[in-house]
Amino acid sequence: MAQVTLHKARRVLRVCLVFAVLYIGYRLTLRWMIEAKLSEIRKQGCPVTLAELNSWYSTAPLTANVASEYMRAFARCNRSWGTNTLSQSALAVTNSWPYWIGQVWMQRQLLPVIGMLTLPASGPPLPRALRQPLAEYISDYQETLGMLHSVPPTAGCRYPIDFRRWFEDENDHLTSLRCCADLLRLEIVNGVENGDVQSTVDSFAALGTLARSLKDEPRDLSVHVRAHVEEDAVYTLQRALNRLVFRDTQLSELDAVLKQLEADEQIRPAIVGQRCMANEAYRTDPWLMKTVITNLSSPPRRTRSSELPFWGRAFNTALRVSGLVDMDWLMYLRVTEMNLTAAELPFPQRLEQIEDSKPGIVYGLTHYFSRILFNEQHWMVQREARTASWIRCARAALAIERRRIATGELPSLSAEIPSQLFAESDPFTGRPLRFKKLATGYTVYSIGRDAVDDGGDGKKDITFTVER
């Protein structure tokens, strides 16, 4: 009896040893594949850790770094909502004027009027109760505006960022940049109200230069902020074109700003930065990725696995011990490489390639963390396409306005804008942008992500309308 028991114990031990060897081999193989992939990325000249990202970002070639000039302007451009005459006047006006639309998206301390409320793209002039406080407000910030206008448009910019502190929410320069962007938009609105065309052009150029200061920053949040600033700039330009008459040379200046914005549109640095963040999190605490990505719209409190409840810690441990975290990491590296290649393609091939990578993502435990990162990559590409659509619609409208100046009347166009007038296509379809004649003026539009032509409906299509 004892011999039988001993024989069974030895058999169980042998089975356990076999499973242990297989498990160790399985884990070592996964780790070897990951390290091989990271080594391959390094050979391509790209960083794989946050420390390497610091060096990669700071050593990129620059003819001049204007970050210090912007930081000085940022330091003078912070004022809370409701603490000045302009804020109080705007609040009083919004209670009675239907053309103002509240947009309380985030509880942030930004400049008033544009930060918390937005003007319609067309419509009547500002009421007198608001024009005077607006002019006074702009006058108060002349020194800051002078700094923003003095930055040369061809200079490069590298803000002082320590990417090793990625998980500590150091985004102060992004919040301040939004404040300065809103200030420049206020200056454009003021120029429109005063009929000062050249001031409007200069302010728009300064706003474009400010947005471009983020073009090489390897953070997904920087992509979102830049896209938001650029779309707001186009929206404000739409109001200016509805209210002012520009000379051909001024329209050419505006087009040059928009053309440069579109030329600098790229999400590759942001994906490279996200990959470094993910590598750091996979090695230490993958739970950090879940809170980093899902809380982009507001400064979150980072949740670490050690702070999870018991069931969460048990689940996290099970993912690690089973090797699912390493499998997830490997899948992330492979698909991200595909998406980096796709990011170099023109529209709409870029969108199509990104969509093609989706079938390789299994939405289960094997890709519990990477699916969040992939969704963020896809969202960045979609946002990039949306911003490019806004810019191209605006540029097409500028081309139409230049033709109107040359001929004295609006060009007679069909449903599509011919390449002879504007060569760029709809980023979502690759076909020409759409044109719709209105009773007064016209609308240029992209059919948007759903690829359905809704006739220039501003709620469904991406539109740029000139009603004059």
Task: Report pLDDT digits (tens) over 384-431.
Answer: 999 999 999 999 999 999 999 999 888 887 778 888 888 889 999 999
Number of Cβ within a 10 Å radius of residue 122: 16
Mean pLDDT, the chain, as a whole number?
Answer: 80
Write the burial class of residue 98 (CB in 10 Å: 0-12 exposed, 13-18 middle, 19+ buried). exposed
pLDDT score of 296: 44
Q: Smallest Cα–Cα separation from 305: which of 324, 321, 322, 291?
A: 291
Is residue 416 classed as helix, strand or coil in its secondary structure? strand
Round to whole Å and give the CA distance between 141 and 375: 40
Report which residue type is found at 347.
F
Is residue 238 classed as helix, strand or coil in its secondary structure? helix
Is residue 163 within 8 Å of residue 53, measured between CB atoms?
yes
Range with the largest mean pLDDT of 134-138, 263-267, 335-339, 391-395:
391-395
Residue 144 Cα to chain centre, angstroms: 25
If you search the block for the tokens 């230069």, which residue do you land on? 209
If you search the block for the tokens 């929410």, which residue do you land on? 169
Residues sharing a CB contact under 8 Å with residue 434, sequence separation 6 or more, in sequence order: 415, 416, 417, 426, 444, 445, 446, 447, 453, 456, 461
Helical (H) or strand (E) element with 117: strand 117-118
Report the DSSP beta bridge partners of residue 434: 416, 445
pLDDT(275) > 90: yes
Q: ω into residue 348 within 30 of 0, thus cis? A: yes
pTM to 2 decimal places? 0.85
Round to whole Å and give the CA distance between 160 and 50: 15
Report which residue type is found at 320.
R
pLDDT score of 394: 95
pLDDT score of 288: 67
By mean pLDDT, which of 259-263, 287-291, 317-321 is the weakest? 287-291
Across residues 106-131, what is the average pLDDT?
A: 55
If you search the block for the tokens 């910019």, which residue do you land on? 157
Round to whole Å and give the CA distance between 57 and 163: 9
Is residue 238 within 8 Å of residue 401, measured between CB atoms?
no
Q: How far is CA 61 from CA 48, 293, 423, in A?
A: 20, 29, 32
Is residue 423 within 8 Å of residue 442, measured between CB atoms?
no
Residue 117: pLDDT band by 50, 70, 90 thresholds? very low
Report the DSSP beta bridge partners of residue 416: 434
pLDDT(99) > 50: no
Residue 446: pLDDT band by 50, 70, 90 thresholds? very high
Across residues 326-342, what is the average pLDDT?
A: 89
Round to whole Å and give the CA distance between 51 and 277: 10
